[in-house]
Amino acid sequence: MSKYTEDDLREELKTKEYEYGFYTDIESETFPNGLNEDIVRAISKKKEEPEWMTEWRLEAFRVWQDMEEPEWANVRYEKPDFQGISYYSAPNSKPKYDSLDEVDPELLATFEKLGISLDEQKKLAGVAMDVVVDSVSVATTFKKTLAEQGIIFMSISEAIQEHPELVKKYIGTVVPQKDNFYAALNSAVFSDGSFCYIPKGVKCPMELSTYFRINQAGTGQFERTLVIADEGSYVSYLEGCTAPSRDENQLHAAVVELIALDDAEIKYSTVQNWFPGNAEGKGGVFNFVTKRGLCEKNAKISWTQVETGSAVTWKYPSCVLKGDHSVGEFYSIAVTNNYQQADTGTKMIHLGKNTKSTIISKGISAGKSQNSYRGLVQISSRAENARNFSQCDSLLMGNECGAHTFPYIEAKNKSAKIEHEATTSKIGEDQIFYCNQRGIDTEKAIALIVNGFSKEVLNKLPMEFAVEAQKLLEISLEGSVG
Amino acid sequence: MDLKDKLVSSFLAFENKVDVDSYVHDVRTDAIKVFEEKGFPSKKEEAWKYTSLNKILKEDYSVFPKQENALEYKDVKKYFIHDIDTYKIIFIDGKYSSHLSETTHDGIDVCLMSAALTKPKYRLIIENYFNKAATKESLASLNTAFSSEGAYIHIPKNKIADKPIQILHFSTGNESATLLQPRNLIVAEENSHVQIIERHQNLTDNPVLTNSVTEIFAKKRAIVDYYKIQNDTAKASLIDNTFIKQQRESVASVHTFAFGGKLTRNNLNFYQEGERIDSILKGVTILGDKEHVDHNTLVHHIEPNCESHQDYKGVFGDNATGVFNGKIIVEKEAQKTNAFQSNNNILISDKASINTKPQLEIFADDVKCSHGCTIGQLDESALFYMQSRGIPKKEAKALLMYAFCNNVLSSVKIPEVKYRINKIIANKLGVDIGFNL
C-alpha cells in the first residue's frame, strides 16, 4: 500500500462534498425580495408585534440605510445584493404542536439526516430544543420542565408577546441597533430566534439548545438571540448550524446578546457548519454575526465555538466585563478548507476592577483558504488589576492557504497584566514519523495531531455537543479528526 | 495654507534651485504626485490608528532653512559618542557642517547625499539604488520629493569600515519651526561590514519635525549594524522611515532607542530578497511626560530559510503613550522561515497607555513563526527583596527596569554606545547608577 501523505489528505479534502447538502421540500410562505420600510412593517405585523417593537425595527432600518458595509476584515467576497434577498420565510405548517408526532414528517426526516432527531435528543440527552427551520421555531420541547423552575425558554417572537417587559428592557442593550452594519440590518428585519431568561439563583438543569438551518432558496437568515441570566443563576446554551447546499451565496446576519447579571454565569457554545461552498469556492454562506455578552459584578461569560462552515465568516463573540471581578472566556476552533475565508476572534473589554479574560484560539487552514484571528483586548483606565491571557495557534496544511493574526492590545491601566502569544506551524514530519514508528498510519497520525491541537477547545464543549462538533470537524477535515 | 499645500507649492521652487540630472528629477516629480494624492496619513488609516499627526502638522514649518548656523564642538560634544574614533557626518538645520564632520573617500565612501546626487561618478549607484527600497507611502514620498541632503555611505566589496559612522542632525531653532527631511543611502556591498549610529537633536525650544528616510542595501554576506538614538526635546518630533533590502546570507540589525520627543514614529521595513538572511530588530522605549512613540515594523520574508528576530521593550510613565505595530509577512515561497517577534511593556503610571498589535500573515506552511506580547508591572517581591537589602526603592525600581531592557542592550556591539545608552537610561529613570556592571 502506498504511503498516505498530507498530499493525499489534501486531495481527499478537495473532493469531499458537503454531506449535509440536501434540501427539504417544505412549503414556505416567503415575502417578495427587497427591503424597505414597508417590508420591515410587514415583518413586524406578520409576527403580531406591539407598536414599540415595530418602531424599534424602523429605527434600526433608518440607521442601516445610512451605513456602509464594513471592509476592514481580511476577507474578499462579492457583496450581497440586499435588495435581492427575501427577508422573511416561514414554514407553512403552523400552528405549533404539542407532541412530535404532529410535526411534518419531512421535517423530522431532515433532522434525522443531521443526526439530531428530536426523539433521540428528548429521550436520551435530556436536551430541550428550540428548533428553528427558516427562522420560525417549530417545536419547543421541555418547556414545561423548564417552566417549573421559572425558566423562560421560547422563541423571541413569543417572548415579545408574552414577556414584553423583559424583552423591552434588555433587547439592544448589549448590541445597540446602530452597532454595526449587519447588526442594524438584523435589528430591522430579524425574523425569529431564541429568548431565554433564568431567574435569580436558578441553575438551569439542562443544556438549552437551538439548531439553525437555512432552508428556503434565496432567503436570508436573521436570527436574534437574547439570553438573560439573572443574579446568581447559571445556564449553558448550545447553538448549532447546518445549511443545505446552494449555488448562490446566502447571507446570515445574526445577533446574539448575553446578559449576565451579578454572580451569574452563561456558557454559550456554538457549532457552525453552514455550507462552505464547493471545492471551486462557488456558493456558500456569508456568516456575518454580532455576538456580545455583558458581565455584571462577579459574572462570567464563556464563549466556545467550532467554526467549520461558511464561505465567509466574520464573527467576534465579545465580552464587556463591566462589573468588578467578572470573567470572560473565549475558546475557538476555526477550520477553513478550499476557498473558505474566516476572520474571527473576540473582543474583551475590561471596564471593572479585577476582571479576567482568557482567549484560546486555534486556527486550522487547508486548501486555498484564509484563516484570520482578529482580537481586541482593551483595559480601560479604571480597570484595576485586569488580567488577560491570549493564545492563538495556527496550523497550516499545504502551502496555498494562509494564516493571519491581528491582535489589538490597548492598555490604559498600569496594574494590567496582559499576555499574548501566537504560533504558526505545520504538522511536523518528526511527529508523524514518531506515530508511524509506533504503528499508527499517517492518516490516523494526522487525525491524532489535529485532535490534540484542538483539544483545549474541544474539552470546553458540553458533552452532548462534543460528538456533534467532532462530526462537523470530520466534514471539513475528513480523515484528520478521529 | 496648510502644510500639505505649502509643501506641494514649494516643490517647484525647490526643483529649480537644485540642479540634478533627469533621473532623480523624474523620481522626485513622481514622488510629489504621490504625496499630493495621498496627503498626510490620518488616524483612519489602519497603520496610523493610534498615532495622530494633526497637532504636529498645525505648526507653521519653514521648509527651507534660510541661514546657516555654526555650532562649536564643545557645546554639542555631549551628543557625540566622543570616546571612540568615528567618522562623522553632521548636519545643522539640514545643512552639512564640514567643520564638525569627518568624512572619507579612502577605500570606503562616507560622504554626502548632495554630492552623490550631483556628481557623475555616483550616477550609476544613484540609478541603481536611489528610491529603490522606499515604498510609495505618503511620508516617504514627501521625503523623496525633497531629498537633497543626508548621508551617503558606500562600502565596497570585501571592505570593513574601519570605524563606526555617526550621523547627527542638530537643529538650532533659527526659524520658529523647522521641517527637516534628511535622506540617507547606505550600500554595503558583498562581504562588507559597517556600523552606523544615528541621532537627531533639537537644541532649542522651537518645534522641529524631522521626516527622515534611510535606504539600506545589504548585499551578499554583508553585515550592517544600525543604532538609532532618539532622546530629543519635548518640542521635537521625528518620523523615521527606514527601508532595508537584504540579499542572501546578509545580516542586518537595527536597534532603536526611543527615550523621548514629542512624537516619534519609526517605520522600519525589512525586505529579505535571498536565502539564509538574518534580520534583527530591537528596541528599548522609556518614556515619560506626554511623549508618544510608535514603532511600526515590517519584516517581509520572501525567500526560504531566513530568520528574523524582533524584540521591543517599553517602559511608560506619566502621560506617555506607546504603540507597537509589528507585522511579519511570510510569502508562499518562504518555506523554513523562522520568525520571532516579542513586545514587552511595563506601565508605571495610571495615565500612561500602550497599544500593541503584533501581526502575523503567513502563506507558507513549513515555517516557525511566533509572537508574544505582554503588559505587566514590576515584580513587587523583587522590589521588596532589594529594599530589604538596603537598596532604596527608586534605585531598586530602576535596576528592575534596566534588567527588563537588558536583553536588547546585550546585543549592542559597540561598547561605547552601550555605555551611552546606559547613561541615558539612568538619567531617564532619575537615578545615578552606572549600570555598567
In tens, the pLDDT along B370-389 reads: 888 888 888 889 999 999 99
Does B353 contact A426 at a Cβ distance shorter than 8 Å? no
Most confident of A29-43, A130-144, B204-218: B204-218
Nearest Cα of chain B lies from the Cα of A186 at a distance, in angstroms, of 26
Res A113 pLDDT > 90: no
Question: A412: which chain B residues are within 8 Å (Cβ-Cβ)?
Answer: 353
**Percent of chain A with pLDDT strictly greater than 90:** 18
Residues of chain B that touch chain A, judged by Cβ-Cβ distance less than 8 Å: 46, 332, 335, 345, 347-377
| pLDDT band at A121; cut points 50, 70, 90 | very low
Q: Which residues in chain B are closer than 8 Å to A406, comparing Cβ atoms?
A: 357, 359
ipTM of the complex: 0.76
pLDDT number for residue A93 = 41
- B15 to chain A, minimum CA–CA distance in Å? 39
What is the least distance, in Å, from the CA of B43 to any CA of chain A? Answer: 14
Does residue A288 carry a pLDDT above 80?
yes
Cβ of A403 within 8 Å of Cβ of B362? The answer is yes
* pLDDT bracket for residue B245 (50, 70, 90): very high
In this prediction, residue A470 carries a pLDDT of 67
Asked if A411 lies within 8 A of B354 by C-beta distance, the reply is yes
Mean pLDDT over each residue of chain B, to the nearest integer: 87
What pLDDT is stored for residue A101 in this prediction?
54
Q: Residue A119: its pLDDT value, please? A: 47
B320 → chain A, closest CA residue: A412
Chain A residues with CB under 8 Å of B356 CB are 407-410
Cell 405585523 sits at which residue? A45
User: B21: pLDDT confidence band, cut at 50, 70 and 90?
Assistant: low
Mean pLDDT of B177-206: 90
Looking at residue B308, its pLDDT comes to 93
Count of CB pairs separated by less than 8 Å, A with B: 116
Note the pLDDT tens digit of each residue in A150-163.
888 887 888 888 88
Question: Between these two residues, A5 and B179, which has the higher pLDDT value?
Answer: B179
Chain B interface, mutation test: which of A348, A387, A420, most B Cβ atoms within 10 Å? A420
At residue A217, the pLDDT reads: 44
At A138, the pLDDT band (50, 70, 90 cuts) reads very low
Question: Which of B153, B205, B158, B150 minimizes the C-alpha distance to B177?
Answer: B205
Q: Is the pLDDT of residue A320 over 60?
A: yes
Confidence (pLDDT) at B202: 87
Average pLDDT over residues A152-178: 86
Which residues, 6+ apart, have CB-to-CB distance to B261 below 8 Å?
A: B230, B231, B232, B233, B234, B236, B237, B238, B291, B293
Which pLDDT does position A476 carry in this prediction?
Answer: 61
Q: Which of A418, A419, A424 sits opposite B360 (nearest CB)?
A: A424
Taking only the tens place, the pLDDT of each residue in B119-166 is 888 888 888 888 888 888 889 998 888 888 899 999 999 999 889 999
How do the domains of chain A map onto residue ranges?
Answer: 6-476
Q: Choosing among B362, B368, B397, which should be mutated to test the A contact, i.e. which has the most A CBs within 10 A?
A: B362
Whether residue A411 and residue B355 make contact (CB cut-off 8 A), yes or no, is yes
Please write the tens of the pLDDT for every residue from A225-256.
899 999 999 998 887 655 554 545 577 888 89
On chain A, the residues whose CB falls within 8 A of the CB of B353 are 381, 410-412
pLDDT the model gives residue A29: 62
Which of B350, B356, B367 is the closest to A381 by Cβ? B350
Task: Determine the pLDDT at residue A129.
Answer: 53
B360 vs A422: CB contact, 8 Å cut-off?
A: yes
C-alpha cell at position A288: 456575518
Burial string for A28-48 (b: 16+ CB within 10 Å, else e) reads: bebbeeebeeebbeebbeebe
Contact criterion met (CB < 8 Å) for A404 and B359: yes
Mean pLDDT of chain A: 77
Report chain A residues whose CB lies below 8 A from the CB of B46. 72
State pTM to two decimals.
Answer: 0.80
Residue B251: per-residue pLDDT: 94
The per-residue pLDDT for B185 is 93
Q: How many CB atoms lie within 10 A of CB A149?
A: 14
Tell me the residues of A at the B interface, defined by beta carbons under 8 Å apart.
72, 379, 381, 394, 396-426
Do B374 and A405 count as a contact with CB atoms less than 8 A apart? no
Residue bearing the bigger pLDDT, A223 or B328: B328
Query: Is residue A17's pLDDT more than 60?
Result: no
Residue A385: which region, alpha, beta or left (left: phi > 0; alpha: psi -120 to 50)?
Answer: left
Which pLDDT band, with edges at 50, 70 and 90, does A193 fall under? confident
Q: Are B194 and B226 in contact (CB under 8 A)?
A: no
Confidence grade of residue A134 (pLDDT, cut at 50, 70, 90): very low
Q: CB A414 to CB B371 under 8 A?
A: no
pLDDT for the residue A15:
55
Which residues from chain B sit within 8 angstroms of residue A421, using beta carbons? Answer: 370-373
pLDDT for A115 beyond 80: no
- pLDDT for residue A206 is more than 70: yes
% of chain A at pLDDT higher than 70:
73
B229 to chain A, minimum CA–CA distance in Å? 26
The pLDDT value given to residue A462: 75
Contacts of residue A430, Cβ cutoff 8 Å, sequence gap at least 6: none
Extract the runs of DSSP E, i.e. beta strands, from A243-369.
250-252, 255-260, 265-273, 285-295, 300-307, 312-315, 318-321, 327-336, 341-344, 347-350, 356-365
- State the Rg of chain B over Cα: 21
pLDDT value of position A145: 73
Q: Is the pLDDT reported for residue A114 higher than 70?
A: no
**A341-353 pLDDT per residue, tens:** 889 899 999 999 9
Q: Which pLDDT band holds residue A219 (cuts at 50, 70, 90)?
A: very low
pLDDT at A327: 93
Look at residue B385 in the predicted model and tell me its pLDDT: 94
Residue in B361, B365, B368 nearest the CB of A399 = B365
Q: Do A419 and B348 touch (CB under 8 A)?
A: no
pLDDT for the residue B363: 87
Instruction: Provide the residue count of chain B.
Output: 437
| CB–CB contact A421 B46 (8 Å) | no
pLDDT tens-digit map of A394-438: 888 877 888 888 889 898 888 888 888 888 888 878 888 899 999
Q: By CA distance, what is B318's nearest residue in A?
A: A414
Q: State whether A410 and B352 contact (CB < 8 Å).
A: no
- Name every chain A residue with its beta carbon within 8 A of the beta carbon of B372: 419-422
Residue of A nearest to B335 (CA): A399
B17 CA to chain A: closest CA distance, Å?
43
Report helix, strand or coil for A447.
Answer: helix
Best mutation target, B375, B379, B397, to test chain A (most A CBs within 10 A): B375
Select from A398, A407, A411 the Cβ nearest to the Cβ of B347.
Answer: A411
CA distance A72 to B40: 20
Q: Nearest CA of chain B to the CA of A1: how many Å?
A: 27
Length of chain A: 482
Share of chain B above pLDDT 90, in %: 34
Confidence of residue A465 (pLDDT cuts 50, 70, 90): low
Q: If we measure between CA atoms, which residue out of B35, B268, B19, B29 comes closest to residue B148?
A: B19
| pLDDT for the residue A103 | 52
Residue of A nearest to B334 (CA): A399
Question: Between chains, do A409 and B375 touch, taking CB under 8 Å as contact?
Answer: yes
Closest C-alpha among B165, B147, B160, B159 to residue B104: B165
CB atoms within 10 A of CB A191: 26
| Residues in chain A within 8 Å Cβ distance of B374 | 417-420
User: Is B364 in contact with A423 (Cβ distance < 8 A)?
Assistant: no
| Pairwise CB contact (< 8 Å): B370 & A394 | no
B329-361 per-position pLDDT tens digit: 999 888 889 999 999 999 888 888 999 988 888
Contact B373 A407 (CB under 8 A): yes
Please give the pLDDT value at position B283: 93
- Other Cβ atoms less than 10 A from the Cβ of B376: the count is 18
